[in-house]
Amino acid sequence: MQLKVEHLTNIRVRYGETDQMGYCYYGNYAQYFEVGRVEALRELGLSYKELEQKGIMLPVAHFEVKYIKPALYDDLLTIKTTITQLKGAQLFFEYEIHNEAQQLISQAKTTLVFVQKESMKPTSPPPAFTQLIESYAV
């Protein structure tokens, strides 16, 4: 199912997230994208926290990121998160990060997989999730 759910979140680069190059360390973007998708789900009325409490986890299976311009200390970034597809147990996200000067600094994609907490095996998303997300099909 192709989807179009878009969400904007702001994140300010913390001092501890910079490295001695003066850039936001490349590994820290993973947290920014995670915040982007959690907030995108929250806006849909879905709590990732509650999902886990029901015994379903959503680990990342694939992550790809392009670093176009550096994010710098204290930059106020805008993360645009798009949920693009639900395909079996897989949920696909795309991201763009812009800085305050409206420059595109990063593009990324992640594939997440619905997994049973006990068995650690892929599983269908909860019916309530599928139902809700269906209204965003394109």
How near is the Cβ of 131 to its own copies at its closest, in Å? 23
One symbol per residue from 41 to 80: x for binding its own copies (CB under 8 A), - otherwise; what is it?
A: ------xxx--x----x-xxxxxxxxx--x--xx------
Ramachandran assignment for 22, one of left (phi > 0), alpha (psi -120 to 50 degrees), beta (any other): left
- Is residue 19 flagged as an active site residue? yes
How near is the Cβ of 97 to its own copies at its closest, in Å? 14
Helix, strand, or coil (residue 96): strand
Ramachandran assignment for 102, one of left (phi > 0), alpha (psi -120 to 50 degrees), beta (any other): left
Q: Is 118 in the site for its own copies (CB under 8 A)?
A: no
Among the listed residues 104, 134, 133, the one whose alpha carbon sits nearest the alpha carbon of residue 43 = 133
Active site residues: 19
Binding interface with its own copies (CB under 8 A): 12, 14-23, 25-31, 34-35, 38, 47-49, 52, 57, 59-67, 70, 73-74, 120
